[in-house]
Amino acid sequence: MSSVLGVSVGAGAVRVARPYAGNSAERGTVQPHAAGAFDVQAVPVGERRVEELAADAIGAVLSADPQITATAIAYRDEQHARAIRAELARRQFTNYELVPDVIAALEFLEFSGELQGFGTVALYDLGASGLSVTVVDTASRQISFTERTSDISGDYLDSLIREQQIASGRIAHPPDAAGLAALDALCRTAKEELSESSAVALPSTEGLVLLSQENFEALIMLAVESSARMARDVILRSEQPVQAVALIGGCAQIPLVARVLRRWLGVPVLVPANPGTIATRGAAILARPVRQRPAPASFTTAFENSIPAQHDSNPPLLSSAGAVEKFSRRREISMAGVAVGALVVVAAIGVSLGWGPQVLEHDSQSSDAVTTSAPVTTTRPSIETTTVAPSTTDATNESLAGPAPQRHETTTTTEAPPEPGPNTITIIPGLPPVVVPTLPPLFPAPAAPAG
């Protein structure tokens, strides 16, 4: 019988979860509420790289249980996913998939019935390395807003307990890093035991760790209220009607956290059993065997296949007769525009010199113009239709346009102007000469002397 493996890679521990016999990976067959539905194991990170430890744990479980056919690994963000993927590629692991830890946690909470009746929820994930608050829609799995901070974390709460115990005088400050790490682990154990008891007393080589529930809550109150303020701000920025808040992560089982969030947010606060393994069990539910897909074609091959081979040296724009004809028509239109512009300029000059009527009536005053006494009318013959079939584009354009009208141009000539006189000058060749009036002298000539 096949089985699946769910993995969560946290800063403090790598957790793996497998459904027990009788459960499978298919939705509806795993019973999360049943006692012992999942076999969950945790491996502390310690001094090793967390990605390397996760790869070792996955390899050990797969070697011990050959019936595992699918593995799902919950990751925190894209950088976290890239690091995990690189380590698994180095180990040549292929039959796995990466899922966001928010989606994995949401899958388990909805599958177990914790979120029944809630459409939009906020996931408050307080773990060893930081706090993440995410607003997500339970139906579409759409994330509206998410934010993460390391100002409050499980490690920070452990350090508060450590400093308080050292300040009380019952615990001597460890002399080296190894002793400090051992004391931090003892303070972490005290924090976890205070979730179910009113006081703890744990002996160590440096002294006795003694802490009550009341002292512990007073110690972490400011940090928890700061996290509640952050959760409220995230919900407001998401602009979504959040109906409940679900607490996950190792520190979610601290009773003070749920009480403060209820007071600050005013919505139901859900605390599932074993909140530190929610993402791990959700990943096991999401695990599916990876199907073999054909390798996609390379970009070069796909690009070459999409373009037909060109054996002509001409560019594509001029490779067809229709394109050449369109290009010639554009040139004719451009030349016609230039000619019309030149006529407008000539007409304007003629108007300014006083020959507007002659210019506008197409008066020809050139020396080589044909002079007749009667108007001559010339009609341009129509263009003969060729037998060559037009291109598809030209046929479409001609079907949309009306028939070209036949043009009749009438050229009327008048008698030639008189020969230029002594007071006429020619300013522009081809235009009538300008008559310069005779002006009286500015100063009269001196009178001849008498006698």
pLDDT of residue 262: 96
Same domain, 243 and 281: no
Query: CA distances (Å), 174 to each of 9, 186, 187, 207, 275, in order?
Result: 30, 13, 13, 10, 32
Q: Which of 133-137, 408-412, 444-448 has the lowest mean pLDDT?
A: 408-412
CATH number at residue 4: 3.30.420.40
Same domain, 30 and 107: yes
- Say if residue 359's pLDDT is above 70: no
pLDDT of residue 438: 60
Q: Give the pLDDT confidence of 219-254 residue by residue, as tens digits.
A: 999 999 999 999 999 999 999 999 999 999 999 999
With respect to residue 331, please indicate whether it lies within any of the assigned structural domains.
no
Give the three-state DSSP class for 369: coil
pLDDT of residue 121: 97
pLDDT of residue 70: 93
Q: Say which residue the tokens 């009550």 belong to.
A: 212
DSSP β-ladder status, 68-75 and 3-9: parallel
With respect to residue 422, please indicate whether it lies within any of the assigned structural domains.
no
Q: Give the pLDDT confidence of 60-75 residue by residue, as tens digits.
A: 999 999 889 999 999 9
Domain boundary among 293, 323, 356: 293
Q: Domain range for residue 69?
A: 1-114+273-293
- Say if residue 214's pLDDT is above 50: yes
Q: Which two tokens stand for residue 403?
A: 């028939």
- Say if residue 327's pLDDT is above 80: no
DSSP β-ladder status, 13-19 and 38-44: antiparallel
Angle 187-191-192 from CA coordinates, rounded to 5°? 120
Give the three-state DSSP class for 109: helix
Q: What percent of the chain clears pLDDT 70, i.e. is strictly above it? A: 60
Band the pLDDT of 422: cuts 50, 70, 90.
low
Q: Edge-to-edge strands of the sheet including 143-149?
A: 143-149, 131-137, 120-126, 244-248, 269-270
Q: For residue 394, is it left (φ>0), alpha (ψ between -120 and 50) or beta?
A: alpha
Same domain, 110 and 190: no
Most confident region among 180-189, 312-321, 357-366, 373-382 by mean pLDDT: 180-189
With respect to residue 334, please indicate whether it lies within any of the assigned structural domains.
no
Q: Give the pLDDT confidence of 7-34 residue by residue, as tens digits.
A: 999 988 999 999 886 655 444 445 544 4
End-to-end Cα spacing for the chain: 154
pLDDT of residue 322: 43
Same domain, 264 and 216: yes
Same domain, 74 and 209: no
Please tell me the distance from the alpha carbon of residue 244 to that of residue 262, in angstroms, as a whole number. 10
Q: What is the count of structural domains for the chain? A: 2
Beta bridge pairs of residue 6? 17, 72
Give the three-state DSSP class for 89: helix
Same domain, 133 and 40: no
Beta bridge pairs of residue 376? 411
Same domain, 88 and 176: no
- Residue 365 carries which side chain, given as an amino acid letter? Q
- Say if residue 338's pLDDT is above 90: no
Please tell me the distance from the alpha carbon of residue 83 to that of residue 77, in angstroms, as a whole number. 10
With respect to residue 172, please indicate whether it lies within any of the assigned structural domains.
yes
With respect to residue 95, please indicate whether it lies within any of the assigned structural domains.
yes
Contacts of 147 (CB under 8 A, 6+ apart): 132, 133, 134, 230, 233, 234
With respect to residue 70, please indicate whether it lies within any of the assigned structural domains.
yes
Same domain, 130 and 258: yes
